[in-house]
């Protein structure tokens, strides 16, 4: 008799095999944790070579079970081969976004928004949106104490495990970790979790309490990484041309962001993005001299070929920079040093020539 096919949720919740579960040390003595020597230990505890976690560490520690990035990814692929994740916040260049809006082409604007690099929050953490089996949930990762490429890999792996926990991946192991959050000298001081919707408290890597205290994306505007809707709202407040403002409205409509709540940073009030753009339009119209004729109903976009060429050039430019090991800021800086103009001011031909030169160097 053929066994019934398991659901995505049943696969995700299956216990991991013992060989897939690692041991993570957790120091239980606050004095050892705060010590300045290395390996860290206080006068009451000795440093030992632990045969379980293979670490030189204070004897005042316990072991927590955890599942690594590879095992978590394998489980996600087994449940849904098409699973994916994306950054919840992106570091969109305002000048490049304004340039895209000027084209009047929503596809160019979407390209700029969707291809901007991830933006970290004020604590250096990464919010992601993970989709498995058609369901999307949030995750949060951090890489405290690490820098460079290792920090980026740690951020992504930690965020994937954290989001996977919200789908039930290794949930039993996370529950054991939460019970071990209290050190021997008093209750742990955990930060307040974001308002509960369909997710639980976003925690950091295994082995420490969540210290992010960061609101989830699109619910409030945080200092470390504003949502696309808030970025459009800020751009609208800076625009003085009605034609450009219509471009922002069209972008909000195409991205389904019009009804997203944003902050009017001039007044501190909350409202929808469409309401803020409308208020800005009324302000600009009221301030316009009476002799100035009204703006045309529709902005005239550039020729399709020109817009497509600019879009392809932007993709080629940042793809070449990525292959050369450059992040967005480094690529922008190198381009400005070589051409004495910003990426947003460059022509498609200039971007392609620079991309070709960067690829040759890489």
- What confidence tens digit (pLDDT) does each residue in 21-79 have? 888 888 889 999 899 998 899 999 999 999 888 889 999 988 888 788 888 899 999 99
DSSP code at position 243: H
In this prediction, residue 76 carries a pLDDT of 93
Domain ranges of the chain: 94-114+222-287, 304-361
Task: Name the token pair of 74.
Answer: 């394998």
For residue 143, the model assigns a pLDDT of 85
| Contact predicate 29/183, CB 8 Å | yes
pLDDT in tens, 229-279: 887 888 888 787 777 777 788 778 877 888 888 888 777 778 888 888 888
Whose CA is closest to 274, among 307, 327, 233, 303?
A: 233
pLDDT of res. 1:
54
Task: Name 47's bridge partners.
Answer: 58
Backbone φ/ψ region at 257: left (φ over 0), alpha (ψ -120 to 50), beta:
alpha
Whether the predicted pLDDT of 308 surpasses 70: no
Tens digit of each residue's pLDDT (9 = 90 or more) over 82-102:
999 999 888 888 888 888 888
Asked whether the predicted pLDDT for residue 185 surpasses 80, the reply is no
Q: What is the mean pLDDT of the chain?
A: 75
Between the ranges 185-189, 271-275, 291-295, where is the mean pLDDT highest? 271-275
Examine the pLDDT at 360 and tell me if it is beyond 90.
no
The whole-angstrom separation of Cα 107 and Cα 114 is: 10
Report pLDDT for 135.
92
Assess whether pLDDT exceeds 60 at residue 288: yes
**Mean pLDDT, to the nearest integer, of 150-165?**
88
Angle at 70 between CA 66 and CA 75, to 5 degrees: 85
Q: How far apart are CA 174 and CA 176, in angstroms?
A: 5
Segment 293-308 mean pLDDT: 50
Distance between the two ends of the chain, CA-based, in angstroms?
A: 57
Sign for the pseudo-dihedral over CA of 110, 112, 114, 120: negative
- From residue 332, give the alpha-carbon distance in Å to each of 3, 96, 199, 320, 358: 56, 11, 37, 12, 12
């Amino acid at each position: 008799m053929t066994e019934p096919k398991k659901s995505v949720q049943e696969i995700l919740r299956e216990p991991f095999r013992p060989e897939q579960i690692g041991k993570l040390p957790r120091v239980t003595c606050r004095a050892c944790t705060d010590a300045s020597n290395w390996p860290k230990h206080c006068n009451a505890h000795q440093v030992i070579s632990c045969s379980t976690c293979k670490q030189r560490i204070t004897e005042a520690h316990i072991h927590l079970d955890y599942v690594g990035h590879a095992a978590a990814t394998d489980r996600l692929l087994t449940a849904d081969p098409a699973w994916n994740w994306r950054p919840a916040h992106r570091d969109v260049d305002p000048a490049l976004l304004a340039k895209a809006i000027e084209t009047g082409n929503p596809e160019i604007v979407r390209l700029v928004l969707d291809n901007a690099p991830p933006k970290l929050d004020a604590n250096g953490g990464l919010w992601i949106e993970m989709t498995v089996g058609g369901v999307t949930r949030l995750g949060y990762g951090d890489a405290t104490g690490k820098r460079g490429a290792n920090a980026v890999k740690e951020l992504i792996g930690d965020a994937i495990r954290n989001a996977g926990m919200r789908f039930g991946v290794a949930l039993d192991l996370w529950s054991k970790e939460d019970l071990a959050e209290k050190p021997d000298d008093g209750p742990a001081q955990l930060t307040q979790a974001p308002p509960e919707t369909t997710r639980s408290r976003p925690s950091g890597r295994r082995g420490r309490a969540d210290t992010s205290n960061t609101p989830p994306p699109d619910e409030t505007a945080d200092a470390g990484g504003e949502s696309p809707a808030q970025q459009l709202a800020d751009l609208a407040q800076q625009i003085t041309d009605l034609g450009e403002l219509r471009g922002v409205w069209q972008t909000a409509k195409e991205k389904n962001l019009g009804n997203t709540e944003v902050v009017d940073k001039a007044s501190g009030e909350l409202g929808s993005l469409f309401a803020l753009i409308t208020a800005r339009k009324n302000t600009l119209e009221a301030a316009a001299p009476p002799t100035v004729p009204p703006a045309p109903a529709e902005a005239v976009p550039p020729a399709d070929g020109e817009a497509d060429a600019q879009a392809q050039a932007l993709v080629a430019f940042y793809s070449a920079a990525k292959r050369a090991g450059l992040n967005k800021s480094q690529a922008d800086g190198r381009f400005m040093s070589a051409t004495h103009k910003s990426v947003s001011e460059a022509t498609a031909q200039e971007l392609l020539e620079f991309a070709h030169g960067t690829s040759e160097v890489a």
